[in-house]
Amino acid sequence: MSKYNAHLPDQPLPEAGYVLVIDQTRGDASLGGAGRAEFLAMLAAARDENPQARIVIRSHPETSAGLRQGHFTAADLRAGEAFCDGPVSPWRLAQGAAQVYAFSSQLGFEAMLAGHRPRIFGTPFYAGWGRSADEQRFARRMDAPIEALFAASHLLAPVWYDPCRDRLTDFEGALRQIEAEARAWRDDHAGHLAYGMRLWKRGPLTRFFGSGKGLRFTDKPGPDVTIAWANRAADVPQAARIEDGFIRSRGLGAALVPPLSLVMDDLGSTTTRPDRAVSRPCSKSPRRPRVICARKS
């Protein structure tokens, strides 16, 4: 888990042993007014301090998505250097790095959690505690173990909120929510070709799958179908099955009332064959059936 969790587990990474330089979006409040000149100075330090190493610049996810401008451009690269802007796990990226350079990005903190002693050029909360090689001075900070930094930043200081239950929660509750949203993005980011969906259901269904490229519908079974209504799923055995969930609406089906939730399962459905909910107690698979709930607008 990370601040940004739109990453894929099988995404290729640069060959291990690189020096990782982390970009941020321009004008970010955590930069304290620093801009392109300061980021170029950080890049120059990475080159000077690691003259034989490959430089990999990690683009900010919002820069990769075309939403906000970063500090580095393709013209800043030298021979053998590269950007990493794909949906890769920041943890895997840190694990493959020989050294990490950051200004104030949270990825610098995650590099510390992954065992690095990163070079930090700004003044983020995690610098100055003896866990990083800092460009700035922190007169009021002293050495602290990484466990204390994690406890202060993730367990003691924050107030965590559960958007599904509309109430406060703890760190583990927030982590479960983030894991669920990350799994939903991985499942849905490429969109779905849906089969066996009645016309009146198609509108409500599209609202359940809004975290990716959405739904396309077909009336013909085929190898490209990725989800199917449970009673039509035998025609497309490779597809995940969906049907109305456990939170039901009065008049569902007969009165054409849209469901409040769906269950999506890649093994079966609760009424026709063993599914994840039934199979998981005797299975080593960590996956569970996915319950998709509509949120109030």
Q: Which residues contact 284 (CB under 8 A, 6 or more apart)?
A: none
Distance CA 7, CA 196 (A): 30
Rounded CA separation 114/94 (Å):
7
- Over residues 195-208, the pLDDT tens digits come to 999 998 888 888 88
Confidence category of residue 6, pLDDT binned at 50, 70, 90? confident
pLDDT in tens, 229-279: 988 999 999 999 988 876 555 666 667 777 778 888 877 554 555 555 433
Domains of the chain, residue spans: 18-156, 189-293
Contact 37/72 with Cβ under 8 angstroms?
no
Determine what percent of the chain is predicted with pLDDT higher than 70. Answer: 86
Model confidence at 290, pLDDT cuts 50, 70, 90, reads low
Q: What is the C-alpha to C-alpha distance for residues 170 and 95, in angstroms, rounded to an integer?
A: 28
Residue labelled with tokens 């000149």: 37
Residue bearing tokens 């198609």? 202
Residue 187: alpha-carbon gap to chain centroid: 12
Q: What are phi and psi of 103, to 5 degrees?
A: -95, -70
Distances, alpha carbon 129 to alpha carbons 3, 140, 153, 193, in Å: 22, 10, 13, 51
Is 102 in contact with 43 (CB distance < 8 Å)?
no
Q: What is the pLDDT of residues 37-82, one digit of tens each?
A: 999 999 999 999 999 999 999 999 999 989 999 999 999 999 999 9
Report whether 244 contacts 270 (CB < 8 A).
no
Question: What local confidence, expressed as pLDDT, does residue 117 receive?
Answer: 97
Tell me which CATH code domain 18-156 carries.
Answer: 3.40.50
pLDDT over 50 at 282, yes or no = no
